Amino acid sequence: MHLNAKALWVAHTILAVVAASKTLQPPSSHTSPHQQDESLSTDFWEQPGQLIHRQGPEDDPQTSLALDPSQIQTAYASQGLNESDSGITPSLTSTNNFINFCLTQDVPLTNGTQVGRGSCSPTPMGRIVAKDKMPSCKFIYPKNGSLLPANTLFDVKLAIRNFESGLYSNPNISYYSAPQTTNDDGLLRGHAHFVIEAVADYLSETPLDPVDFTFFKSIKEVPVNGVVTSRVPNGIPSGIYRMSTITTAINHQPALVGVAQHGSLEDVVYFKVTDNAF
């Protein structure tokens, strides 16, 4: 089974390389789709026995099935080991940007739906936010330690910075299906969420189960003066809660930023909801 999968993978890779070599074009030959008209395609031999040059939509690097040679990240061939740190886990390596990585994973390809049993995404990470443009946020309401009446409407207010928020793709059809992007100012384009989870008490030390939350919402509202307001229409039952943000790109993947060491992009507050005090 394992050998078969590996043999298939090798065969697939050879085919992919052959296919790629047939369509290789220097980057300068790329033209954008609006300049293309398939009816004008011309095939010719550059030199007998050499590459076929086909002017057509496949010259567009955004539709071509071949990896543009200028896009190969040769640094990914390194395991990244360092003699002075024996604890480093060797990185997986690739000389083709991991384009066929999911052939090594025995799960379906991520296909734009939310595959709850797990899947493998062939989507690149895409645009990574610069260090001086990292998004951040702070809950304005409820505040940490707030007391709220049970089962009563309230509005969450979240201050956000460096984030073009309120943009979201269809989570049933386009979940994780496109890379992260930024706007022209380099700010993350996407949307925030807030999720409210019950805790046993303020000092509880038990990690929560992410499957088991009380209220979850995508913040589709657009910020006004840097603050988004998003409603919890029926409130929540009495209890003690943790409320946290989840900052994502348009296609719902968590925000990716250019440096490993940074403050949290998210905010968390703990508050109490009670039947009694009101």
Residues in touch with ligand NAG (CB under 6 A): 82, 84-85, 108, 111, 113, 115, 144-145, 170, 172, 202, 270
Residue type, 275: D
Nearer to ligand NAG by Cβ, of 67 and 115: the residue is: 115
Query: Between residues 119 and 182, which has the closer beta carbon with respect to ligand NAG?
Result: 119
Torsion of CA 26, 29, 33, 35, to 10 degrees: 180
Smallest gap from Cβ 115 to ligand NAG, in A, equals: 5
Beta-strand pair 215-219/268-274: unpaired
The CA distance from 188 to 162, in Å, is 7
Closest distance of CB 260 from ligand NAG, Å: 13
Which is nearer to ligand NAG, 170 or 183 (by Cβ)?
170
Question: Can you tell me the distance from the alpha carbon of 106 to that of 6, in angstroms, rounded to the nearest whole number?
Answer: 12
| CA angle (109 as vertex; 105, 111 as ends), nearest 5 | 160
> Residue 7 is inside which H or E element, if any?
helix 2-23
User: Minimum Å distance from CB 243 to ligand NAG?
Assistant: 11
Preceding omega of 135 cis (within 30 degrees of 0): no
Q: What span, in angstroms and rounded, lies between the C-alpha atoms of 124 and 198?
A: 35
Count of H-run helices and E-run strands, the chain? 1, 11
C-beta of 28 vs 82, nearer to ligand NAG: 82
Q: Which is nearer to ligand NAG, 151 or 170 (CB)?
A: 170
Least distance (Å) between residue 84 CB and ligand NAG:
4
Burial of 94 (0-12, 13-18, 19+ CB in 10 A): middle
Minimal distance in Å, beta carbon 72 to ligand NAG? 21
Cβ nearer to ligand NAG, comparing 18 with 203: 203
Smallest distance, ligand NAG to C-beta of residue 173, A:
7
Nearer to ligand NAG, 113 or 214 (CB): 113
Q: Where are the beta strands (DSSP E) in the chain?
A: 43-45, 52-54, 136-141, 147-149, 154-161, 163-164, 188-199, 215-219, 227-232, 239-249, 268-274
Residue 16 is which amino acid? Answer: A
Question: Min. distance of Cβ 105 from ligand NAG in angstroms?
Answer: 12
